[in-house]
Amino acid sequence: MTRPLDGITVVSLEHAIAAPFCTRQLADLGARVIKVERPGAGDFARAYDQRVRGEASHFVWVNRSKESLTLDLKQPGAVAVLKDILASADVLVQNLAPGAAARMGLGYEALKVSHPQLIVCDISGYGEDGPYRDKKAYDLLIQSEAGFLSVTGTPDEPSKAGNSVADIAAGMYAYSSILAALLQRGKTGQGSHIDVSMLESLGEWMGYPMYYAFEGAAPPPRTGASHASIYPYGPFAVGDGGTVMLGLQNEREWKAFCDTVLQNPALATDPRFDANAKRNAHREALQALILETFAPLTTAQVLERLEQAQIANARMNTMADLWAHPQLQARNRWRTVGSPAGDIPALLPPGRHSSFDYRMDAVPQVGEHTDAILRTLGRSDADIAQLRATGAV
């Protein structure tokens, strides 16, 4: 069975999360992804932790189905190898320090002369120009710059997202931009340059709070896990120690919530609560009534009432719960992939296709494919030995 990106070769000068997340998704669709790593240590994300049988949790997540090639790009011999690979590549992705790729002659302007069909995707914190161009950018810093922290957390303290949301946003836009560039190249025959900024990527995801605060209006308040402007919408404690998430969207649901869940039909027309804006303004009083109703009940009983009333709800799951989630198991979303630590489970990418299966190959060891790649470039054993002797690979 063919895949959409079979025959496409991607070379990536990548580390950490944003670029590797982008290129792993290209690999999922069948692309050959050659990951360039530093000789010895490799991508520094390999050392973030040892949670997966000695391997790093971030690394195994975003690096399956890739080939690892070690090159010390400070050495001319290594740069020559990379340029040989680029001669037949379709895409170059990089998230090195700002300007680093260009200084090595690997910027789009330098490459397009000899590689007019090459698509070059640069991922950075703030983009290739502007006053913040050279500013260091880590995920948490971008969450702060993009205003994410100002609307996330409790009234007393801002909180970051529990995952690398800015890196993920940039990786997603780099991925979709590369797919668009491949389609465009199919029409024009020409490659292109893509400049993806973490700030702009997360800024796009901040559209609702930005417009909520339009023309100097007050921004959404930090409300923990509750919705900032809809109530009741968020977590509620239950008598057995559990927590139930629920959300109401309209007045029909509010009436059903009062009738079936709270079993207090008169509350639906209480003048404090008979519209969402009023419920939001009196959320403390309404919260007390909800918690009073839930106190003698179990989590299962509350969920049963919510289902009966057709009110959206969820359990507040842990990571262990997610690993064992019955819906993921029922839909057969788990596969096994190889890794330097042996076989590990891996979640299939979102989106189930009738015409192809995702590629789900191993997470590579540092430099695992170096010799094989060099031989495909025509390097002899003596050439490879010389490259190794000088530390170029």
Instruction: Show which of 282, 316, 350 is a domain's final residue.
Output: 316
Instruction: Show which of 316, 340, 371 is a domain's final residue.
Output: 316
Q: Are residues 94 and 186 in the same domain?
A: yes
Per-residue model confidence as pLDDT tens digits over 71-94: 999 999 999 999 999 999 999 999
Distance CA 268, CA 276 (A): 11
Report the Cα 161 to chain-centroid distance in Å.
Answer: 12
CATH number, domain of 140, equals 3.40.50.10540
Q: Are residues 280 and 339 in the same domain?
A: no
* pLDDT at res. 1: 82
Q: Are residues 240 and 342 in the same domain?
A: no
Distance CA 65, CA 248 (A): 42
HEC readout, 312-370: EEEECCCHHHHHCCHHHHHCCCEEEECCCCCCEEEECCCCCCCCCCCCCCCCCCCCCCH
* pLDDT at res. 228: 86
* pLDDT at res. 192: 97
Confidence of residue 161 (pLDDT cuts 50, 70, 90): very high
Q: Are residues 188 and 249 in the same domain?
A: no
Q: Are residues 52 and 167 in the same domain?
A: yes
Structure tokens at 387: 């490259």
SS3 47: helix
Q: For residue 70, what are the β-bridge partners? A: 37
Mean pLDDT value across the chain: 96
Q: Are residues 279 and 343 in the same domain?
A: no
Report which residue type is found at 25: Q
What is the side-by-side strand order in the sheet with 91-94?
A: 66-70, 32-37, 9-13, 91-94, 119-124, 193-197
Q: Are residues 113 and 75 in the same domain?
A: yes
Q: Are residues 134 and 197 in the same domain?
A: yes
Q: Are strands 243-247 and 91-94 parallel, antiparallel or unpaired?
A: unpaired
Instruction: Show which of 258, 284, 316 is a domain's final residue.
Output: 316
Residue range 81-110: mean pLDDT, rounded: 94
Residue 346: inside a domain, yes or no? yes
Q: Are residues 24 and 99 in the same domain?
A: yes
275 pLDDT above the threshold of 90: yes
Look at 10-19, 100-109, 111-120, 288-297 and tell me which has the smallest mean pLDDT: 100-109
CATH number, domain of 258, equals 3.30.1540.10
Confidence of residue 281 (pLDDT cuts 50, 70, 90): very high
Residue 224: inside a domain, yes or no? no
Report which residue type is found at 3: R
Residues 6+ apart with CB under 8 A from 231: 248, 276, 279, 280, 283, 286
Residue 196: inside a domain, yes or no? yes
Residue 45: inside a domain, yes or no? yes
214 pLDDT above the threshold of 90: yes
Residue range 326-334: mean pLDDT, rounded: 97
* pLDDT at res. 18: 97
Q: Annotated catalytic sites, by residue?
A: 167
* pLDDT at res. 7: 97
Confidence of residue 120 (pLDDT cuts 50, 70, 90): very high
Residues 6+ apart with CB under 8 A from 361: 27, 64, 65, 337, 338
Residue range 333-362: mean pLDDT, rounded: 97
Q: Are residues 199 and 237 in the same domain?
A: no
Residue 227: inside a domain, yes or no? no
Residue range 194-220: mean pLDDT, rounded: 96
Count of all residues that appear for the chain in the document: 393
Full-model pTM:
0.93
Structural domains in the chain (count) = 2
Q: Are residues 77 and 115 in the same domain?
A: yes
DSSP string over 268-283: GG-TTTSSHHHHHHTH
Residue range 338-357: mean pLDDT, rounded: 96
Residue 133: inside a domain, yes or no? yes
* pLDDT at res. 98: 87
Residue 212: inside a domain, yes or no? no
Report which residue type is found at 65: S
Torsional sign, CA 310, 312, 316, 320: positive
Domain range for 27 is: 9-205+332-389
Per-residue model confidence as pLDDT tens digits over 233-257: 999 999 999 999 999 999 999 999 9
Residue range 178-198: mean pLDDT, rounded: 97
Per-residue model confidence as pLDDT tens digits over 16-67: 999 999 999 999 999 999 999 999 999 999 999 999 999 999 999 999 999 9
Residue 139: inside a domain, yes or no? yes
CB 92 within 8 A of CB 120: yes
Confidence of residue 113 (pLDDT cuts 50, 70, 90): very high
Q: Are residues 239 and 183 in the same domain?
A: no
Residue range 116-136: mean pLDDT, rounded: 95
Q: How far apart are the first and last CA of the chain?
A: 35
